[in-house]
Amino acid sequence: MAADVSDPLAVAALFEAADRAFGGVDVVVHAAARMRLSPLADFNLEDLDRMLRINVLGTCIVNQQAARRVRPGGAIVNLSSSVIGRVLPGYTGYAASKAAVEAMTFILAHELRGRDVTVNAIAPGPTATEMFLDGKSPEQIEFFAKAAPLERLGTPEDIAKAVAFLAGPDGHWINGQTLRANGGVN
């Protein structure tokens, strides 16, 4: 089932469908995102608004439903970005939206005190996804690949393994944290 994460009714319907199909919700992984790059002085405010609606408002809406429905022993995992810790001209709006995700993650973990539900974030580094590769030249891709000591882009599988760790029993003592799954990019 698909849903626009910026639409509260659509997200509620998605969670209701999961409840019906599976008898409840144990893990929520919120990965929906939009990336628009531009120097802040030139940022098209309509593009910025669309990005913030997905990245920030969408995280609020999904996490609100998750906070209401995830059963004890469960996990909420949001996706942030390692760009927050880097100086990358043109990434101001995107980095700000992902910093909001990390703030929500940390605070929600504390709001769910006593519920036995963990809330964490994964902050991928440059990862070979359609969103990351879109519009980048081979030189830009090489720049990002060489930024990590492992000298490669991450793969979706790299990130999925980190998510699985935080969502599974081995990661259940980790709570309110952001795991920078980025190959060592600083």
Q: What is the DSSP string of 73-105?
A: EEEEEEE--GGGGS--TT-HHHHHHHHHHHHHH
d(CA 15, CA 107): 22
Catalytic residues, by residue number, are 94
| Residues forming beta bridges with residue 76, ordered by sequence position | 28, 119
d(CA 89, CA 108): 30
